[in-house]
Structure 1
Amino acid sequence: MQRQGSIGGTAAIRIRVTGGILLAAYLALVAWYTLRPLDVPWVMPANLRPFDGLRADFAAGWTEGARRVGEGLALLAPLGVLLPMAGGRLAVSPLGSLIRTTAAAALLSLGIEMLQTAVPGQVVDVDSLLLNTAGAALAHLAVVPAGRSWLRRRTGGRAVPVPVQEPAQGRTPTIPRVGIAPWSDALPPSSP
């Protein structure tokens, strides 16, 4: 059964399957890139204060700071497109879609940061969490509304709502509320 507002027919299946495959491949790549052990001579301490690492990078030079911001925004940016693509819905609230996608990216980024605590050479950085989440949100805003609009025009606006079907046996009967009997009525009579 298709969800309300899903694309009709084989187009929905193709988009969902393609989105699901690309999403799985992308998440495997991100896991390899972020959770592989690094052989480094020393490790920076964990950064748990927002924007402290970025300030330090920009203090070292604008190119270093811009590189760090670009890498942070780009790491999870494809999630902003792949998550809605794997969902395959056209008729959805743009704000709701943005919030769901951003929340999923934030949770994934948080999971990566927590897993990095056990990986040699990898350090927890709250700035990465913020930049990864912002990158996914920006990619979603830049691509998904236009993509959904294009798909709606291409399919002639055919969002196919599927009515909920009743079970074959019919509706379940309702029983009127019954009050609770007093204890004297519920217990068997006692013999003298």
Structure 2
Amino acid sequence: MKLVAKVSLLTALAALVPSAAFAHTGTGFHSHGLMAGLAHPVMGWDHLVGLLAVGFWSMTLVKSQQTKVITTFFAMLMLGFVAGASGIASSAVESGIAASVLLAGLLLMRNRQFAMPAAAFFATFFAVFHGIAHGAETSVGASFEFAVGFMLSSAMLFACGALFQMAFAQRFAAVRYIAGAGVACAGLGMMAF
């Protein structure tokens, strides 16, 4: 079975996981101002782990893909945020976040190169669910400053994951594998609760 088909199946199964226990309420809490936007991605461990992992993973790709994947990721993160702020959300979002974290961990453990369409698909898969969840927690008229803070904080977490990969995992393959296993376990934990 091709990897994209496996990911699609994993997403469908993850959508069956109940989402009542997740932290994202969609109530508009923390929805205004630059500082609230900066704090928001680091307040939920699902986003914290997910953004660090995707930043780490992006640096395992060949150099010609890195800029395209990073650009795709942030464009889709913002698109997801706007969609969530506009009221486009479902109970499957939390399951999608959990599946994306699990997938990020598995990709890190496997350390395989992908053709650009597959790499862009994974970046989109990660970004859309995380963006929708954050956007859904804002009010429809959420401030521009909040959105800027959210994107800046997300970029900082992404960069921390990328820097960690460049500083340690390039030299020590075991670091990449251990980090991937930890991220995958976090994704499984998100699915379980």
- The structure that is helix-richer by fraction is 2
TM range (shorter): 0.3 to 0.5
- TM-score, length-scaled by structure 2: 0.38
Higher relative contact order (CA 8 A, sep 6+): 2
Which of structures 1 and 2 has the bigger CA Rg?
A: 1
- TM-score, length-scaled by structure 1: 0.38
